[in-house]
């Protein structure tokens, strides 16, 4: 039941973020983030090396443009945040209703306005990776 709950907590936000993500370069620091990921470069201070390395792996995938690949990474990180939130809720409040409560909490987190905006663009991967590390 736990694996199924975590999979559902990941998949719904990931699907929503994929369907609503920016198709290219939004007017923020996303082009700089994508270029740093593609070339293993350094963004403006503080440089964001923690997201540049997974972004480089995303850019190496043989599907779509680099902007699409890094935007998909942000959507995946949003889904990961939802699953980590669900796991946290289930660990804090165990019981028969814990899977449903965890799943709903994860969905509410990942589909909240700030996380939804960040899950749709490359620059948001920076913030969602930080949130995922905190939740884990």
> So what's the pLDDT on residue 31?
82
Mean pLDDT, to the nearest integer, of 38-60?
87
Confidence of residue 1 (pLDDT cuts 50, 70, 90): low
> So what's the pLDDT on residue 100?
92
66-92 and 124-135 helices, crossing angle to 10°: 20
Residue 57, pLDDT > 80, answer yes
Residue of 125, 126, 29, 122 lying closest to 67 (CA atoms): 122
CA angle 11, 15, 17 (to 5 degrees): 120
pLDDT per residue over 85-127, tens digit each? 999 999 998 889 999 999 999 999 998 988 888 888 888 888 8
Confidence of residue 23 (pLDDT cuts 50, 70, 90): confident
| Torsion region of 86: left, alpha or beta (phi above 0 gives left; psi -120 to 50 gives alpha) | alpha
Mean of the per-residue pLDDT values of the chain: 88
Mean pLDDT, to the nearest integer, of 73-79?
93
> So what's the pLDDT on residue 64?
85
Residue 128, pLDDT > 70, answer yes
């Amino acid at each position: 039941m736990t694996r199924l709950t975590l999979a559902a907590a990941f998949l719904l936000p990931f699907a929503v973020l994929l369907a609503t993500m920016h198709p290219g370069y939004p007017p923020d620091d996303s082009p700089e983030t994508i270029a740093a990921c593609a070339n293993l470069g350094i963004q403006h201070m503080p440089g964001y090396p923690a997201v540049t390395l997974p972004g480089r792996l995303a850019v190496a995938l043989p599907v779509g443009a680099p902007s699409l690949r890094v935007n998909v990474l942000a959507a995946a990180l949003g889904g990961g945040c939802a699953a980590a939130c669900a796991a946290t809720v289930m660990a804090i409040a165990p019981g028969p209703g814990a899977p449903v409560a965890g799943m709903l909490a994860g969905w509410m987190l990942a589909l909240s306005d700030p996380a939804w905006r960040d899950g749709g663009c490359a620059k948001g991967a920076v913030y969602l990776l930080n949130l995922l590390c905190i939740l884990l």
